[in-house]
Amino acid sequence: MLFAQIIFYLLAGVAVVSALLVITRRNPVHSAIYLIITLLSVALIYLQLQAEFLAAVQIILYIGGIMVLFLFVIMLVRLDEALRQEQFNRQWFVAGVAVVVLAVELIGVIYLGRDTALGPEAGPEALKALQPNTERIGEALFQTYMLPFEIASLLLLVAMVGAVLMARRRVE
Amino acid sequence: MTQLFDNFHPIVVSLIKITIVFLGLALVVAYVVYAERKILAHLQVRLGPMRVGPHGLLQPIADGLKLLLKEDIIPAGADRWVFWLAPVISVIAAFTAFALIPFGANFTITDVNAGLLFVIGISSLGIFGTILAGWSSNSHYPLLGALRSTAQLVSYEVALGFAIVAALLLAGTLSMKGIVYAQAEMGVWFIFLQPVAFFILFVAAIAETNRNPFDLPEAESELVAGFHTEYSGFRFALFFLAEYTAMVLVSSIAVTLFLGGWLRPFASVRALDFLNFAPVAVFVAAAGWCFWEALRLPAAREWRWQRLLLLVLGAGASGILVGLLIPGSAFPGAAAEDQPTFPVLEAVQGVFWFMTKVFVFLFGFIWFRGTFPRFRFDQLMDLGWRFMIPLGIVNVIFCGAGIVLSQRLGWNFIASLWLGTAATLLVAILLTRGRS
């Protein structure tokens, strides 16, 4: 267990430190690189929790998809101008409220889910029940939660069509 | 082989396997570069490298040394940190994905439940090397090359994904080993059930590796050398290494998905069991060729080093030959009933067939480069978005329909899949007719 704990704290530390660097770097490309590192360490934490499918999807979608598009856009921005702009806009009050709300939510989730969550004391048998990973997620998405899943995909489709429409209008 | 490893700690075994795969890959990549120069030369009726070693066999070593000793230039105004990072990302992404490739039934570094997704995910990280290299060089040509490369990759990744989904529908698993076992169980490689998906995967693989005819990111006539224009010396060598490793990687994925991985051709036909001796035949041919060439060299003094090298190579091939044919009775504990006649031959069987298929693929890549002219960028995008992606979607739908037909209505499995393929081809014809 000790080895696993060391790995976890290492990954978590890297994730938090690079997340801080994302917002403090002045150069947006450096920020993007730190964001990639954050997402990658989160993916590795998923892997450590034996959620292989989730880890792979995190890498493909967030890192291989979204971050590539981020960088694609950043490359086209004029960096000299971006460097001269103000980095923080000093909205302490709003940020403080958001932090408090988020903290309450987080504590609430942990408190309400304390019985269903698997701790390290659960042992390998409980972890075995999560395998085979891909099949379990497939069953959950396409059988148990079929309707919410389809509603979510419809919502995304609507958003996509809307985005295309907005991009078109500007050309005309 | 596996019994031998059981006495070690699992981490030690993994480290040994990783070292073997890494060194083997580096060797394969070096000689793929050599093979490319040789094959291209012969396609253009030239000789190619001939001077360094017999038939230029030591050329990769000379090239590698040259690149290592060259001056390493960082352009003024470059983002040094990112400039340093970019080639490293490319190489790491290309090599790490091999951890999940099943080279043989008894030779994989690891096999996880979501294996194929991991391979795709890790290999897609390589694009960051290209983007960051293009951006950090602080120069126009690399930036344009990187932009092109990204647009191309994002476009063709979609088509690649649909081709993979078609194979997954047949296999019913994401595990790389499981996909090969599914093909062994059905007794047919998936290329014969899903030829359209294989075609899409092959074209998308060429586009993903930025190879001719889709090598627009490095089009010499327009962009000098694309994203790595400003790189020199060892850093350039790293990009070169990553590019060819990526070629081997996509070939390995295609072989695993569609060409039966480590399975022998006609693995279920007992009458063709003599094919198991193909590795022996290859080394007999290699040894014979070396000795014959050594005899054929002119007797002059200047050829003595080449002759010596050929003789050493021939002796090496003969040594491997003898090693392959060590009988099972020579091993301790040979009394076991299930001991095969030639255990060493049995152990390398899978790896041999896997690599043979990969080399066929790589030859195809090189052949394409020698044959097709480069696309224009709008043609490339048009082909990707308006032909490959619709075709991929239609193929997945018809493939699923075929599987449902055979499961629910009891139709012949292969016939219903071929019906789906025929329908897909019909759609392909309609798609091409609509294009100018």
pLDDT 10s digits, B122-179: 888 888 888 888 888 877 888 888 888 888 888 888 888 898 888 888 888 888 888 8
The enclosing domain of A6 has a CATH number of 1.20.120.1200
* Chain B touched by A71 (CB under 8 Å): yes
Give domain status of residue A22, yes or no: yes
- Domain membership of residue A123 (yes or no) is no
What is the four-CA torsion angle of B111, B115, B120, B124, rounded to 10 degrees?
-70
The two three-digit tokens of residue A164, written as one number: 């295309």
- Rounded CA gap, B332 and B64, in Å? 43
Judge whether A62 is closer than 8 Å to chain B, CB to CB.
no
Sheet strands (E) in B327-371: none
The per-residue pLDDT for A154 is 94
Give residue A171's pLDDT. 53
What domain range is A170 assigned to?
A: 130-172
Distance CA A71, CA B35 (A): 36
Residue A171 tokens, joined: 């050309």
The token pair that represents B74 in the structure block: 């960082």
Residue A146 lies in a domain: yes
B284 at the A interface (CB within 8 A)? Answer: no
Of B135, B150, B151, the CB nearest to A29: B135
Residue A7 shares a structural domain with residue A69: yes
- Does the CB of A132 have a partner CB in chain B at under 8 Å? yes
Q: Higher confidence at residue B230 or residue B403?
A: B403
Q: How far apart are CA B387 and CA B371, in angstroms?
A: 22
State the Cα angle at A107 between A105 and A108, rounded to 5°: 60
Alpha carbon distances (Å) from B135 to A37, A74, B86, B144: 18, 10, 10, 9
Q: Name the nearest CA neighbour of B117 among A64, A73, A97.
A: A64
Reference A54, options A119, A127, A136; nearest CA is A136
What is the pLDDT, as a whole number, of residue B209? 83
Among A27, A64, A134, whose Cβ lies nearest the Cβ of B174?
A134
Q: Which whole-number Å values give the CA distances from B35 to B30, B58, B132, B306, in the listed order?
A: 9, 12, 30, 19
ipTM over 0.85: no
pLDDT surpassing 60 at residue B1:
no
Q: What is the pLDDT of residue A17?
A: 94
> Does residue A50 form part of some domain?
yes
Least confident piece of the model among A54-58, A113-117, B417-421: A113-117
Is A118 within a domain?
no
pLDDT band at A136; cut points 50, 70, 90: confident
Q: How far is B342 from chain A (nearest CA, A)?
A: 37
B262-275 average pLDDT score: 76
Residue A147, class by beta-carbon neighbours within 10 Å (0-12 exposed, 13-18 middle, 19+ buried)? exposed
Using pLDDT thresholds of 50, 70 and 90, give the confidence band for residue A150: very high
C-beta atoms of B131 and A71 within 8 A: yes
What percentage of chain B has pLDDT greater than the value 70? Answer: 93
Query: Of A83, A98, A113, at which residue does a domain stop?
Result: A83
Which of B81, B85, B127 to substitute to test the interface with A, most A CBs within 10 Å? Answer: B127
Find chain A residues with C-beta within 8 A of B157's C-beta.
Answer: 64
Q: Which of B85, B113, B157 sits opposite A131 (nearest CB)?
A: B113
Q: Report the SS3 class of residue B104.
A: strand
Which band of pLDDT confidence, cut at 50, 70 and 90, is reported for residue B290? confident
Instruction: Look at residue A135 and tell me if it is in a domain.
Output: yes
A9 and A79 inside one domain: yes
For residue B203, what are its two tokens? 């074209």
- Cα B79 from Cα A29, distance rounded (Å): 10
Facing residue for A133 by CB, picked from B114, B122, B135: B114
Mean per-residue pLDDT, B87-100:
88
Among A64-73, A113-122, B140-149, B235-244, the minimum mean pLDDT is found in A113-122
Specify which residues B107 forms β-bridges with: B104
Element (H, E) at A93: helix A92-112
Query: Do residues A3 and A78 share a domain?
Result: yes
Q: What are the Cα distances from residue A130, in Å, to A124, A127, A142, B409? A: 10, 5, 17, 34
Q: What is the pLDDT of residues A122-134, one digit of tens each?
A: 566 666 666 677 8
CB of A79 within 8 A of CB of A28?
yes
Asked if B143 reaches chain A (Cβ–Cβ under 8 Å), the answer is yes
Give the span between the Cα atoms of B4 and A43, in whole angstroms: 35
Tell me what pLDDT residue A53 has: 85
- Does A56 contact B135 at a Cβ distance shorter than 8 Å? no
For residues A160 and A145, what is the distance between their CA atoms, to the nearest angstrom?
23
Report yes or no on A4 lying in a domain.
yes
- Greatest Cα pair distance, chain B, in angstroms, is 76
Per-residue model confidence (pLDDT) at position A42: 92
Mean per-residue pLDDT for A112-139?
Answer: 71
Contact call for A59 and B125, based on CB within 8 A: yes
Same domain membership, residue A146 and residue A72:
no
Of A60, A72, A132, the CB nearest to B117: A60
Shared domain for A150 and A78, answered yes or no, is no
DSSP code for A118: P
Q: How many CB atoms sit inside 10 A of residue A136's CB?
A: 15
Q: Is A160 on the interface with B (CB under 8 A)?
A: no
Instruction: Let me know whether A9 and A71 are in one domain.
Output: yes
Q: How confident is the model at residue A50 (pLDDT cuts 50, 70, 90)?
A: confident
Give A25-34 pLDDT, tens digit per residue: 877 888 888 9
Average pLDDT over residues A40-52: 85
Checking if the pLDDT of A86 tops 80, the result is no
Find, in chain B, the residue whose alpha carbon is nearest to that of A137.
Answer: B114
Please say which residue of A66, A83, A100 terminates a domain.
A83
Residues A18 and A74 both lie in one domain: yes
Cis peptide before B213 (omega within 30 of 0): yes
Cα nearest neighbour of B80 on chain A:
A30
pLDDT-derived band of residue A41, with 50, 70 and 90 as boundaries? very high
Q: Give pLDDT tens digits for B384-396.
A: 888 888 888 998 9
pLDDT in tens, B332-356: 655 555 666 777 777 788 888 888 8
User: Nearest residue of A to residue B93 by CA position?
Assistant: A64
Q: Give the pLDDT mean for B2-28.
A: 75
Q: Does one domain contain both A12 and A74?
A: yes
- Selected residue of B135, B149, B156 to mutate for chain A interface (largest A Cβ count, 10 A): B135
Lowest mean pLDDT among A139-143, B74-78, B126-130: B74-78
Domain total of chain A: 2
**What is each CA distance from B398 to B197, B384, B391, B411, in whole angstroms?**
11, 20, 10, 15
Same domain, A138 and A68: no
Supply the angle between the helices A68-76 and A28-48 in degrees, to the nearest 10.
Answer: 180
By the 8 A CB rule, do B145 and B136 touch?
no
E strand intervals along B213-313: none
Question: What does the alpha-carbon distance between residue B51 and residue B54 come to, in Å, rounded to a whole number?
Answer: 7
* Residue B117 contacts A where some CB pair is shorter than 8 Å: yes
Where do runs of H (alpha helix) occur along B97-232? 115-124, 126-136, 140-171, 176-186, 195-208, 220-223
- Residue B135 near residue B82, CB atoms below 8 Å: yes
**Average pLDDT rounded to a whole number, residues B180-204:** 86
Which sign, positive or negative, has the C-alpha torsion B166, B171, B172, B174? negative
**E strand or H helix that includes residue B358:** helix B343-371
A83, A116, A151 - which closes a domain: A83
Listed residue (B262, B264, B265, B279) closest to B342, CA to CA:
B279
Respond yes or no on whether the N-terminal peptide bond of residue A120 is cis (omega within 30° of 0). Answer: no
Is A93 within a domain?
Answer: no
Q: Does residue B373 have a pLDDT over 60?
A: yes
Q: A-contacting residues of B 61-90, CB under 8 Å? A: 79, 81-82, 85
Min Cα separation B362/chain A (Å) = 25
- Supply the mean pLDDT for chain B: 82
Contact B419/B402 with Cβ under 8 angstroms? yes
Q: How confident is the model at residue B9 (pLDDT cuts 50, 70, 90)?
A: low
Mean pLDDT computed over every residue of chain A? 83
